[in-house]
Chains A and B, each alone.
Chain A
Amino acid sequence: MSGLGAFLRGLRVTGKVMVNTVFGDGLVTTKYPQEFRQKPQRFHGRHVLNRYPDGMEKCIGCELCAGACPARCIYVRGRDNPSDEPVSPGERYGYVYEINMLRCIFCGLCVEACPTEAITMTHLFEISTANRRDAIYTRQELLMRPDGSVPHMFPDDPLAQLAELDTADGWLRATAPSGVAAYEGVQAWQGTPGPASWAPEPTQDERDA
Chain B
Amino acid sequence: MDGVDILIVVGRVLAVFVLLLVTTIFNVWLERKTIADMQNRVGPDRAGPFGLLQTVADGLKLFFKEQINPSKVEYGMFVLAPFLAVIPALLLFMVVPFGRPFTIGGREVLLQGADLNVGVLFILAMSSLAVYAVVLAGWSSGSKYPLLGAVRATAQAISYEAAIGLSIVSVVMFSSTRAGGTLSLAGIVESQAGTYLGFLPRWNLFPQVVAFVIFFLAIIAETNRAPFDLVEAEQELVGGFHTEYSGMRFAMYQLAEYMNIFSMSAICATLFLGGWNGPTFDGQIPAWVSAVLPTVWLLIKTYAVIFAFFWIRATMPRLRYDQLMQIGWKRLIPAALVWLILSTVAISVRQFGLPWSA
Residues of A at the B interface (CB closer than 8 Å) are 7, 10-11, 13-15, 17-18, 20-22, 26-29, 31
- Which A residues touch B40, using CB under 8 A? 17, 20-21, 26-29
> Are A7 and B39 in contact, CB atoms less than 8 angstroms apart?
no
> Are A27 and B42 in contact, CB atoms less than 8 angstroms apart?
yes
| 8 A-B pairs in the complex with CB atoms less than 8 angstroms apart | A7-B316, A14-B311, A14-B315, A15-B38, A21-B41, A22-B37, A27-B40, A31-B45
> Are A17 and B312 in contact, CB atoms less than 8 angstroms apart?
no
> Are A18 and B41 in contact, CB atoms less than 8 angstroms apart?
no
A26 to B37, CA, bound (A): 9
CB distance from B326 to the nearest CB of A (A): 11
B315's partner among A10, A22, A28 (CB-CB below 8 A) is A10
B314 lies within 8 A of chain A by Cβ: yes
A13 to B311, CA, bound (A): 10
CB distance from A107 to the nearest CB of B (A): 31
In the A-B complex, the 3 residue pairs with the closest CB atoms: A14-B38, A28-B40, A18-B37
Known pairs A20-B40, A21-B37, A27-B42; list 16 more (Cβ under 8 Å).
A7-B316, A10-B315, A11-B311, A11-B315, A13-B315, A15-B311, A17-B38, A17-B39, A18-B34, A21-B38, A22-B37, A27-B41, A28-B40, A28-B41, A29-B41, A29-B42
Kindly supply a per-residue 1/0 record for chain B positions 37-77, scoring 1 wherever the CB is within 8 Å of any chain A CB and 0 otherwise: 11111100100000000000000000000000000000000
A13 to B314, CA, bound (A): 10
- Which B residues touch A29, using CB under 8 A? 40-42
A35 to B41, CA, bound (A): 14
Kindly supply a per-residue 1/0 record for chain B positions 136-159, scoring 1 wherever the CB is within 8 Å of any chain A CB and 0 otherwise: 000000000000000000000000
Chain B interface category by residue count? 10 to 19
> Are B316 and A18 in contact, CB atoms less than 8 angstroms apart?
no
With CB as the reference atom, state the residue of chain B lying closest to A10. B315
With CB as the reference atom, state the residue of chain B lying closest to A17. B38
- Which B residues touch A22, using CB under 8 A? 37
CB distance from B294 to the nearest CB of A (A): 29
> Are B314 and A14 in contact, CB atoms less than 8 angstroms apart?
yes
- Which A residues touch B38, using CB under 8 A? 14-15, 17-18, 21
- Which A residues touch B312, using CB under 8 A? 11
A56 to B76, CA, bound (A): 76
- Which B residues touch A26, using CB under 8 A? 40
- Which B residues touch A28, using CB under 8 A? 40-41
- Which B residues touch A10, using CB under 8 A? 315-316
A10 to B316, CA, bound (A): 7
A21 to B38, CA, bound (A): 7
Kindly supply a per-residue 1/0 record for chain B positions 312-353, scoring 1 wherever the CB is within 8 Å of any chain A CB and 0 otherwise: 101110000000000000000000000000000000000000
A21 to B312, CA, bound (A): 17
CB distance from B35 to the nearest CB of A (A): 9
CB distance from B42 to the nearest CB of A (A): 5
With CB as the reference atom, state the residue of chain A lying closest to B331. A3
- Which B residues touch A27, using CB under 8 A? 40-42
A26 to B41, CA, bound (A): 9
CB distance from A9 to the nearest CB of B (A): 10
With CB as the reference atom, state the residue of chain B lying closest to A6. B316
Most chain B CB atoms below 10 A, which of A7, A14, A27: A14
- Which B residues touch A11, using CB under 8 A? 311-312, 315
- Which A residues touch B45, using CB under 8 A? 31
Interface residues of B in 114-155 (CB under 8 A from A): none
- Which B residues touch A20, using CB under 8 A? 40
With CB as the reference atom, state the residue of chain A lying closest to B34. A18
With CB as the reference atom, state the residue of chain A lying closest to B312. A11
CB distance from B307 to the nearest CB of A (A): 10
A89 to B9, CA, bound (A): 91
- Which A residues touch B311, using CB under 8 A? 11, 14-15
> Are A31 and B42 in contact, CB atoms less than 8 angstroms apart?
yes
- Which A residues touch B316, using CB under 8 A? 7, 10
A20 to B38, CA, bound (A): 9
With CB as the reference atom, state the residue of chain B lying closest to A15. B311
With CB as the reference atom, state the residue of chain B lying closest to A9. B315
CB distance from B235 to the nearest CB of A (A): 19
A18 to B314, CA, bound (A): 10
A17 to B39, CA, bound (A): 7
- Which B residues touch A21, using CB under 8 A? 37-38, 40-41
A31 to B315, CA, bound (A): 25
CB distance from A122 to the nearest CB of B (A): 28
- Which A residues touch B41, using CB under 8 A? 21, 27-29
CB distance from B73 to the nearest CB of A (A): 38
CB distance from A175 to the nearest CB of B (A): 41
CB distance from A16 to the nearest CB of B (A): 9
With CB as the reference atom, state the residue of chain A lying closest to B40. A28
CB distance from A11 to the nearest CB of B (A): 5
A20 to B40, CA, bound (A): 8
- Which A residues touch B314, using CB under 8 A? 14
A22 to B39, CA, bound (A): 11
CB distance from B51 to the nearest CB of A (A): 11
- Which A residues touch B39, using CB under 8 A? 17
Interface residues of B in 280-320 (CB under 8 A from A): 311-312, 314-316
- Which A residues touch B37, using CB under 8 A? 17-18, 21-22
A58 to B180, CA, bound (A): 96
